[in-house]
Amino acid sequence: MARYTAAFVWSALAYLTIGVLLGLTMAIDITLVSRLRTAHAHVNLVGWVSMFIFGVAYHVLPRFSGQPLHSPRLADLHVVLANVGLVGMVVAFVTSGPGLILALFGTIEAVSGLLFVYNIARTLLAARPANSLPMMPMGSRPGR
């Protein structure tokens, strides 16, 4: 398994653990709900779900397409930026809320997601045969 795949899967498992603990904390002390709710949601959705999907996609999609990943270096950068962005966002949600710090880390997170889109798109596009025809519009028939 590639290092970026393993890093995303291990990150996802860590965020799942943190998300469960944040949820338990809010269940035990309801006064913390307003302070932790958004951090809890981001840890679970961006941390657990997205990171796991990134890891599985980096492992599976190149194999399904029959092409190597376009850029393992971009995938490594994606791991770093995704984790830095999420941790910064979560800390900002808990400590200061909306503002410049949250916007900075949110931008880092967004850039990391766009790196994934670019890297996977380039991988999948490389798998298309050079002589493949574009898809025909619905309702049209070949030879007419």
pLDDT digits (tens, 9 = 90+) for 15-52: 999 999 999 999 999 999 999 999 999 999 999 999 99
pLDDT in the model for residue 138: 62
- Return d(Cα 41, Cα 19) in angstroms, integer: 8
**Whole-angstrom distance, CA of residue 132 vs CA of residue 32:** 56
pLDDT tier for residue 129 given thresholds of 50, 70 and 90? low
pLDDT above 90 (res 71): yes
Residue 128: per-residue pLDDT: 72
Orientation of helix 33-42 relative to helix 72-95, angle to 10°: 170
Cβ atoms of 61 and 106 within 8 Å: the answer is no
Residues 6+ apart with CB under 8 A from 88: 101, 104, 105, 108
82: three-class secondary structure by DSSP: helix
pLDDT at 81 over 90: yes
- Please give the model's pTM, rounded to 2 decimal places: 0.85
Q: How far apart are CA 61 and CA 63, in angstroms?
A: 5
Average pLDDT, the chain: 92
